[in-house]
Structure 1
Amino acid sequence: MIDHKRSRLSHQSFWQRWKEDGDLEAKKQLIEHYLPLVDYVSSRMAVGLPKNVTKDDLVSNGAMGLIDAIEKFDYQRGLQFETYASWRIRGSIIDGLRQGDWVPRSVRDKAKKMEDAYTVLEQRNLRSATDEEVCDYLNITDKEFQQMLQEVAVSTICSLEDPIREEESETRLTLLVDDKAVNPESKVHETFLKETLMQGIDRLTPKERTVVSLFYYEDLSLSEIAEVMSLSPSRISQLHSKAILRLRAALSKQKDQLMHK
């Protein structure tokens, strides 16, 4: 990965030339320098996606996100470009996948049924639903449940960002980029969502929390997490799917409450 400190020092002049003078050569230099970010994010997101989705597709969409990040980044605010760009790249890839309708309708339907099951059961019991309870609710066997988890894995691999806001990826970053005057209503909504997400994470099982932490906060791939936790990659994929379904259920419930207030 990129040496952040050296990157900021050695490319400050490129940022100045691009942002202040509109120097296209400086912009080109920035794009070339940060291209490894596109490959890094694409490689992580490629895990668990269907075989018909090639890494070249991800890289192509991710490159558009990188260019968009370079065009919109405010280098004078002292923020770390790599973090901002990674979110832009990820958002651009997700948008591309959505447009390509890469998840079959049948898989989306199964994921929705499982999400609804977690919503109802956890609201009813005020605790995390067990696998057995979900199976009973859906009237399926444990084997069928595990199979469903495997099938919906491709729909949850990128979706931690999705439930937080349903708008485009740009909206998720408005507090980070600019707009110094924050809309009070948006700030309250943001606070509610963050609190709900924290509560949802607290209600995950220990293994599910570990997977979420390692994947989204430590930037490990699912295969790397499998090695760390001494579990099979398929088991890690299932734990990830269950965690995301629980979080989506919690956020969906919060959304309904906000809409009815």
Structure 2
Amino acid sequence: MIEPEREQSVRALLPLVRRLARRLKRFVPSLDVDDLVGDGCIGLIRAIDSFDPTRGPQLPEYARRLIVGAMLNGIRRMDPVSERARRIVRDGENQRYALAAARGEVPGAEEMEVRCPGYRRALAAAYRGQPLSLDAPLPAGEALARDWGDDPAQIVERRSERAWLAAQIAALPPRHRAVVLMHYFNGTSLRTVGRQLAISPQRASQLHISAIARLKRRVHAAAH
């Protein structure tokens, strides 16, 4: 595509980028629309540069997938809680609930720190949603949430589950990913998804079922 046509295509599809950013913002209210638009523009440019008019859908539909994919990658990069912190909290919570079931009472923070080193600091990161070095000492006077009636594992998931899910969707095979994004993010019926992907409604339904099964397996694997 020559440069004037490229610039024209970018200008023509910028409203699509903004529209998709607003939709994702409704799905994840904590996101910043400008950040989403910035990531989406990267996907838009990639789509324009790689678009082949002799294959597949028209440019807007082709670009839509790359735009959303770039936005999802941006969400993944913004996940404030490290995988290591999530793993430590998850392991600690498994031990915590096992002890609670055996004793009939929930163990305290000090005991959990002995049983699961790093748990206290990882829990602080989960509550505050900030990246922390798990090997560094806690800052003097740092206050931790002490409501042990809450489920810290759920707090971790509430802060990171959307970003984690976005990463898992982005890792799906191309057609599986396209079906999930078009159906759930764009509100497109599976029949219409099939038509836009040049496949039968039955095949679109199969891809949808397969994609959800893959995501469920990854959720299960992450929880164990």
TM bucket, shorter chain:
0.3 to 0.5
Greater fraction of residues in helix: 1
* Relative contact order, higher structure (CA 8 A, sep 6+): 1
Question: Which structure has the greater CA radius of gyration?
Answer: 2
Superposition TM-score, scaled by structure 1 size: 0.42
